[in-house]
Amino acid sequence: MTSKLFSPITLRELTLSNRIVVSPMCQYNSNEGSANDWHLAHLGGLSMGAAGLVMVEMTNVALDGRISPRCATLCSDENEAALKRVVDFCRTYGVAKMGIQIGHAGRKGSQQPPALGGKALTAEEGAWETVGPSAIPFGDFPAPRALTRAEMLDLIEAHRQAVARAERIGFDLIEMHGGHGYLIHQFLSPLANQRTDEFGGSLENRMRFPLEVFKAMRAEWPAHKPMGIRVSATDWVEGGFNPDEAVEFAKALKALGCDFIDVTTGGLDHRQQIPLAAGYQVPFGERIRKEADIPTMSVGLIGGSAQQAEEIIASGKADFVMIGRDALYDPRWAWHAAEELGATTDYAPKYGMARPALRPQLYPNHRAPA
């Protein structure tokens, strides 16, 4: 069998050796937004595991755009230098291409890391004022302050500057975070955006600021490198952002030079009712892929089975599968998937002796137990 999961794919001038992407996963372990030895070990290990692409966690464009005080930012020379150290290590020893997700938490900021409860920070814990399209709180969090147009322009510039830093660091690909209830998603959803100006109301208006941000980021990012976006295709709440609107948003993004849509769901409203099951988000990405005619990445309970991941790609439901928690559980997930599917894949140079095909040569007297 020729594995589709382990077939190469090219976006602009970037060729990935397979369709496996390690999903961006917040680590809540940065120091004043800067990466440290944890990230060196975490991302360094993942970069050696043979996924075609490893994505760095949601990295915010401002300190007050973080989810928690321990979240990553890319808004200072110190942030840039610390992250470059990590990415340089991954390039030296790993085999994966490296991408980064850039975002702003909006009204979901100023909270504790999940391991500490995930509640809104108190003043004693260093809480900061959050912002959003409207003064509508996220659950029982404090209400954000509605952004002015001048502040929106400042945020566009902050996103542009983060992109410039990502290019200097040497990333191969970037992704704007437009899902999971963070700032861009807040503008898209009528549940969080009840503005009465040109940025609220109709879908065209709700898309306006997200598209402005994307356009500025794409203009700053080199033309030969791919850029995409993570989108929550549904809020799973009546009256929220929905799959029909997600398709139209994807079409508008494609017209601005978007190269892929990373399709997820939810995260905006505590009332969401999500029918969790293996691959439960795949149909949303499949629809966007077909109707907007754009490559998609599918994420969400996929990594439990190499066969499931293979079927998603082989049947044309997505162009990439994203592995998150399963990559944490097994950083060599792609090696094991290749072995299961009878495919070949890359091994980090220092780990080449681990290839199953070489074991009989290296250990000719080894016999498997009866």
- Is 2 inside any structural domain? no
| Residue 130 structural domain | 9-362
d(CA 270, CA 179): 15
Active-site residue, from 28, 93, 182, 347: 182
Q: Please compute the mean of the pLDDT values over residues 160-176 and round it to a whole number.
A: 98
pLDDT score at 349: 79
pLDDT at 360: 58
* pLDDT, average across residues 89-112: 97
User: What is the full DSSP assignment across 291-348?
Assistant: HHT--EEEESS-TT-HHHHHHHHHTTS-SEEEE-HHHHH-TTHHHHHHHHHT------
Residue 370 included in any domain: no
What pTM value is reported for the model?
A: 0.94
Q: What is the mean pLDDT of residues 251-278?
A: 95
Q: Does pLDDT of 1 surpass 70?
A: no
Nearest to 103 by CA among 223, 203, 232: 232
* Domain-located, residue 275: yes
Question: What CATH number does the domain containing 97 carry?
Answer: 3.20.20.70
Residue-level pLDDT at 212: 98
160 part of a folded domain: yes
What per-residue confidence (pLDDT) applies to 369?
Answer: 45
Other CB atoms within 10 A of residue 148 CB: 10
Q: Give the span between the Cα atoms of 31 and 35, in whole angstroms.
A: 7
Inter-residue contact 72 to 60 (CB < 8 Å): yes
pLDDT beyond 90 at 19: yes
Q: State mean pLDDT over 61-67.
A: 98
- 196 assigned to some structural domain: yes
Say if residue 364's pLDDT is above 70.
no
Evaluate whether residue 197 is within a structural domain.
yes
- Mean pLDDT across the chain, nearest whole number? 94
Average pLDDT (304-323) is 95
List, for residues 133-166, the tens digit of each pLDDT value.
999 999 999 999 999 999 999 999 999 999 999 9
**CA dist., res. 55 & res. 24, Å (int):** 5
Does 312 or 276 have the greater pLDDT score?
312
Q: pLDDT exceeding 90 applies to what percent of the chain?
A: 89
Give CA separation, 146 vs 57, 69, 357, in Å. 26, 22, 59
Flag whether pLDDT at 171 surpasses 70.
yes
In this structure, is residue 211 part of a structural domain?
yes
* pLDDT value for 31: 97
Task: Return d(Cα 292, Cα 281) in angstroms, integer.
Answer: 17
> Is 182 considered catalytic here?
yes
Q: Which residue has the tokens 């490559």?
A: 295
Whether pLDDT at 240 is above 50 = yes
Rounded-to-5 percentages of helix, strand, coil across the chain: 40, 15, 45
Eight-state DSSP code of residue 21: E
For residues 334 and 85, give the distance between their C-alpha atoms in angstroms, rounded to a whole number: 25
Q: Would 139 be classed as within a structural domain?
A: yes
Count of structural domains, the chain: 1
pLDDT tens digits for range 205-218? 999 999 999 999 99
Q: Which amino acid is at 17?
A: S
